[in-house]
């Protein structure tokens, strides 16, 4: 007899309803091309704690990833960019708001992963400005993966034109492409976290054939 999925693995009702519509929209308007296996044929794990990461190029990015990933993602999102008018939406799809300190969000992300769920992170922390490179990652990804023993699914997104307003990108035609680059095991030790992060960032840059920013974030 099949076991019922744990709470972390259940799609919120709204998300379950809009995923088919999102796929249709992404195919129609964005001509989305999707590669959900790595070049070696590896697919996203179907269970167990997982962190999904991708470069950040537009407001459509989380929609693109969730539309084709068969597990519900709890995206971490800066509180400052969460429109208050859409508070009902953030609650419905179980976004994890990130405050200035990030402590509360980190605890919630750890709870989700400990329950076997999926957390989504754009490690650059913001849409790339200027576009055409992979920015320095914000701190915390490597430690979160190691402490929760979570695998990391590394995606890259391209084919979406730069747009000043992230919400306009939802309706602006493009040739969006989503590719799974690698499934990465967490760093073995705290001392290895920095090199682990750099290796992950470089893998994104190579897949996109763009430079990886080497300047520290101000």
Q: Are 117 and 49 in contact (CB under 8 A)?
A: yes
The secondary structure of the chain, three-state, reads CCCCCCHHHCCCHHHHHHHHHHHHHHHHHHCCEEECECCCCCECCCCCCEEEEECCCCCCHHHHHHHHCCCCEEEEEEHHHCCHHHHHHHHHCCCEEECCCCHHHHHHHHHHHHCCCEEEECCCCCCCCCCCCECCCCCCHHHHHHHHCCEEEEEEEECCCCCCCCCHHHCCCCCCEEEEEEEECCCCCHHHHHHHHHHHHHHHHHHHCCCECCCCCC
Q: And the tokens for 169?
A: 């990108």
Q: What is the pTM of this model?
A: 0.91
Kindly report, residue by residue over 95-154, the tens digit of the pLDDT: 999 987 778 999 999 999 999 999 999 999 988 777 788 999 998 999 999 999 999 999
Give the list of residues 6+ apart from residue 1 with CB closer than 8 angstroms, or none. none
Q: How far apart are CA 109 and CA 51, in angstroms?
A: 10
Q: Are 141 and 53 in contact (CB under 8 A)?
A: yes
Kindly report, residue by residue over 54-105, the tens digit of the pLDDT: 999 999 999 999 999 999 999 999 988 888 888 898 998 999 999 877 789 9
């Amino acid at each position: 007899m099949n076991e019922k999925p744990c709470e972390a693995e259940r799609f919120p009702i709204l998300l379950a309803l809009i995923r088919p519509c999102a796929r249709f929209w992404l195919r129609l308007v964005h001509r989305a091309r999707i590669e959900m296996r790595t070049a070696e044929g590896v697919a996203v794990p179907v269970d167990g704690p997982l962190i999904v990461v991708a470069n950040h190029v537009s407001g459509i990015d989380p929609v693109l990833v969730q539309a084709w990933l068969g597990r519900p993602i709890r995206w971490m999102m800066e509180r400052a960019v969460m429109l208050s008018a859409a508070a009902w939406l953030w609650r419905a799809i179980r976004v994890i708001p990130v405050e200035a300190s990030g402590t509360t969000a980190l605890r919630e992300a750890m709870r989700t992963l400990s329950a076997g769920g999926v957390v989504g992170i754009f490690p650059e922390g913001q849409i790339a400005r200027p576009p055409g490179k992979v920015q320095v990652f914000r701190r915390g990804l490597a430690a979160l993966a190691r402490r929760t023993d979570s695998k990391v699914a590394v995606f890259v997104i391209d084919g979406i034109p730069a747009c000043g307003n992230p919400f306009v990108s939802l309706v602006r035609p493009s040739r969006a492409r989503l590719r799974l680059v690698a499934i990465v095991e967490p760093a073995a030790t705290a001392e290895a976290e920095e090199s682990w992060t750099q290796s992950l960032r470089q893998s994104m840059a190579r897949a996109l054939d763009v430079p990886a920013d080497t300047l520290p974030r101000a």
